[in-house]
Amino acid sequence: MLHTVERIGSFAGLASFLGLAVFALLLFAHGRDIRRLRDWAGSAPEREQERMEATQNIAAQRAEELRELEESRTAEHEAIADRELRRQRREEGLPEKTRGERFKERFSGFGESLSRPALLAVLFVVFLLVAGGVVYAVTNTGSSGDSKQGKGKGEGNGKKASVAKIKPGEIEVAVLNGTSVTGLAASWGDKIEKKGFELGAVTNTNSTFEESVVMFEPGAKPEAKEVAERLKIKNVEPMIPEVAEVSNEAKVSVVVGEDNAAAEG
């Protein structure tokens, strides 16, 4: 009897150990499932955000597909209408495209060319060169103007730099006798040549001039002032038609008046 009880106790102990092992395993599995549930519940907002983003992406992709489909349909309808319009114009004996359409196509081609990186780079370089040239020209013009002004002040003769550089041999001067004194134009022609000017026409005017005057064509005023200063004539005026007709295209004409005729006499 005692031996039977010992055997039963041994089996009961073994069964208890196995039961505890199975209980521990179930307890561990239960704890792991609880942790998973907690993690899943904690990540619910992130999952909802991901789901919403995925839904929005799908909706945007679908909208883009619908837009592209609509554009392709519109382009197809426009192409059909364009072909029909061209067919009608051919049947009417008119050009397939109007002048405005041809101009639009050329302009669009030019715009496509401008969008090329190489062409844009070339245009940028050209722009830099032009801008640099303008800056250089402006800078040199200002500095040369200042140097000329300083030179004129140093000389103290009141002449402008442009007038001071005029060479008498480059100025053609016509001599007109504005009096009734014979040979007055010829004698003044000799004076003009001695001053270094190029002698032009030597003749008489149709009317009489009381005072001597140096007349000039448009753009030749500096030369006329140079001639007047060297000949000591105070009057400098634009050339009148009467003088221009007999000056043989000279830009500057000296009309000798009665004041200098008396001095010659």
User: Which residues contact residue 166 at a Cβ distance below 8 angstroms, ignoring those fewer than 6 apart?
Assistant: 222, 223, 226
The amino acid at residue 262 is: A
- Which ranges in 156-220 belong to alpha helices (H)? 161-164, 184-194
Tokens for 22, please give them: 């199975």
pLDDT of residue 238: 95
Highest mean pLDDT of the ranges 30-39, 75-84, 187-196: 187-196
Q: How far is CA 260 from CA 177, 210, 256, in A?
A: 10, 9, 6
Which has the closest alpha carbon to 200: 211, 189, 212, 210? 189
Dihedrals phi, psi of 175, to nearest 5 degrees: -120, 125
What is this structure's pTM?
0.40
pLDDT of residue 227: 92
Quick: pLDDT tens for 116-138: 677 677 778 888 888 888 888 87
Mean per-residue pLDDT of the chain = 79
Task: Tell me the pLDDT band of 82, cut-offs 50, 70 and 90.
Answer: confident
pLDDT of residue 217: 94
Q: How far is CA 131 from CA 119, 123, 124, 128, in A?
A: 18, 12, 10, 5
Q: How far is CA 69 from CA 72, 75, 77, 78, 169, in A?
A: 5, 10, 12, 14, 83
